[in-house]
Amino acid sequence: MATTTLIGATATELARLVRERGASAVEVVEAHLRRIEAVDGTLNAVVALDAERALAAARRADRGGDGPLRGVPFTAKDNFEAAGLEMAIGASERVGVVPETDATAVARMRAAGAILLGKTNCPPYGGGIETDNPVYGRTSNPYDPARTCGGSSGGEGAIVAAAGSACGVGTDSGGSIRIPAHFCGLAALKPTAGRIPVTGVIDDEGQIGALGDPRTQVGPLARSVEDLALLLGVLAGPDGRDGGVPPVPLGNAAEVDVRGLRVAAFAAYDHDEADAATAAVLDRAAAALHEAGAIVEEVAPPAGGHDITIEVWSSYGGDLDSLGLYRLLRRWDAYRAEMLAFGAGHDVLLSPVSAGPAPPHGALSGHTGVDPTSFTTLHSLTGWPAATVRCDSSPEGLPIGMQVVALPWRDDVALAAAGALERALGGWRPAPL
């Protein structure tokens, strides 16, 4: 089968092709390895390629297996442990560190038949709004290499969007999955907090966890909403090691009726407002959900979520005493309660992911004052599930995604509404790279 057909297929389509013997797993993996070779000199997205072991896994997959992702190539952000692959996480002091085990998310992907191609670039220790570090350098956007892919799951966003990987896993504590997905035109999900174990995900303090930072979640990036639902089914559920993951059953997005869903749409939050092109896409997205039978009103959620997040970020410097931290957490609790009261009248929150499309490299760093996270951080504070789906393009041809948020544990509702937008407005489109 032609390489262009294989790399343009979704993860769901590839799994079906391999299962029905329309293509071999070896053909699928070889096509994606060739694509990485063709594009990664421009993107600099893949920092640890595992080609030989990927091909060996593909040969095993062709001999049998019945996992739902059998033969599907994937990548993982470099803050996930993957046995035998260097895990520098963009930090000079970690060069040469090679884990002996897989993170739970990586292990579950492999157990489902998916084939790890390699690890992808991120800011140092996996946190930041632009993907650049002193070990591997900067990752570029496949729609315009002069622009950022965002962060911190920027390498994942770039290589999946450029069709070098069918799907991937990243982490998100304030927008780190959603912003790269928006900048790179992908579908993605920050799931409900505690839906997917974070075992084997590392930052500068070591293993992350629900008490250390309840905002940080593992989530999938892909090129279709259908893929997100498939991957969520593989990744979700307790692993016996992460104490922050309760045994809450998954709903089925395919069984959610969009008709009658109450949608709150808003183009401004706290200190940010969508630019004209993004606001126009939001209007089209709101109209699409209305056409699908949802009840849409223009109303914003309670203010202050981004301001509280800025205080949380500021506390990392060590200047906040224990009483100050305690009071900050109490304000966080109060905000979560306020959001739940707002959510009693709304099933879905629809907004931009960020105020505009991907800016040039460097625009989100230093003292420019440009913060792309005003629309995303509130949903990390609440822990609500937040999907991203491409809905249109800017005048320059850059992707513009929308953020589709549902109430806690209703990841199925977020995915159902995102799927309705994808069907109406087009979703992922190949990059010109």
Active site residues: 77, 152, 176
Alpha-carbon distance 362 to 33, whole Å? 29
User: What size, in residues, is the chain?
Assistant: 433
Q: Residue 370 carries which DSSP code?
A: -
Listing DSSP states for 308-369 in one string gives HHHHHHHHTTS---HHHHHHHHHHHHHHHHHHHHHHTT-SEEEEESSSSSPPBTTTTSTTS-
Amino acid, res. 80 = F
Listing DSSP states for 253-285 in one string gives GGG---TT-EEEE-SEETTEE--HHHHHHHHHH
Alpha-carbon distance 365 to 37, whole Å? 29
Helix axes 225-235, 11-19, angle to 10 degrees: 70
Alpha-carbon distance 86 to 82, whole Å? 8
Cβ(28)–Cβ(72) below 8 Å: yes
Task: Give the CA distances from residue 106 to residues 63, 165, 179, 231, in Å, rounded to whole numbers and listed in that order.
Answer: 22, 15, 22, 11
